[in-house]
């Protein structure tokens, strides 16, 4: 019950219109699911030490898909070439099922993703998004 009360208070405090519903502090913890494959690093300044299986997620909000110095799959790269930049809605949909998202974006039932992980819980994804926003440069 105590947790529920704190969560309710936190939600009330974060209810300013500039913020999405995501809770950055919760997202920081939930990022544990991602860091085996993803680091967050601003050049040499490491914010979260992580693996190199996936691209650096520093500055993701607003970044063009597939635009880091990373060997992306051709399908994610193609979505970026089509001009898609990450926003919260695309991010939440992508992490829920990267392959299905690529198929839809490219209208190609054969599209493939190099990211096999799926984060189905949209609340967790929104929290991770809020966390990524909180560690990104002010735009």
User: What is residue 38's three-state secondary structure?
Assistant: coil
Give the Å distances, CA to CA, from 122 to 82, 92, 131.
25, 6, 14
Question: CB of 42: closest distance to ligand HEC in angstroms?
Answer: 15
User: What is residue 46's three-state secondary structure?
Assistant: strand
Residues forming the site for ligand HEC (CB under 6 A)? 33-34, 36-38, 53-55, 60, 65-66, 68, 72-73, 76, 91, 94-95, 113-117, 119, 128
Distance CA 95, CA 20 (A): 17
Sign of CA dihedral 104, 88, 39, 119: negative
Provide the CB-side half-sphere exposure for 64 (13 A, CA). 12
Question: CB of 8: closest distance to ligand HEC in angstroms?
Answer: 25
Question: CB of 15: closest distance to ligand HEC in angstroms?
Answer: 24
Question: CB of 128: closest distance to ligand HEC in angstroms?
Answer: 5
17 or 69: CB nearest ligand HEC = 69
6 or 21: CB nearest ligand HEC = 21
Question: CB of 123: closest distance to ligand HEC in angstroms?
Answer: 12
14 or 37: CB nearest ligand HEC = 37
Q: Any idea what DSSP says for residue 63? A: P
19 or 63: CB nearest ligand HEC = 63
Q: Check if the beta carbon of residue 19 is closer than 8 Å to that of residue 126.
A: no
8 or 21: CB nearest ligand HEC = 21
């Amino acid at each position: 019950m105590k947790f529920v009360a704190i969560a309710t208070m936190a939600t009330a405090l974060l209810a300013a219109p500039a913020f999405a519903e995501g809770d950055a502090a919760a997202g920081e913890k939930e990022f544990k699911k991602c860091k085996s494959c993803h680091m967050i690093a601003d050049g040499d300044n490491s914010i979260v030490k992580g693996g190199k299986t996936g691209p650096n997620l520093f500055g993701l909000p607003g970044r063009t898909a597939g635009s880091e110095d990373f060997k992306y799959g051709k399908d994610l790269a193609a979505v970026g070439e089509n001009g898609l930049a990450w926003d919260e809605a695309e991010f939440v949909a992508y992490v829920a099922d990267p392959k299905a998202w690529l198929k839809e974006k490219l209208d190609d039932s054969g599209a493939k993703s190099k990211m096999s992980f799926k984060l189905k819980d949209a609340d967790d994804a929104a929290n991770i998004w809020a966390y990524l926003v909180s560690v990104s440069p002010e735009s």
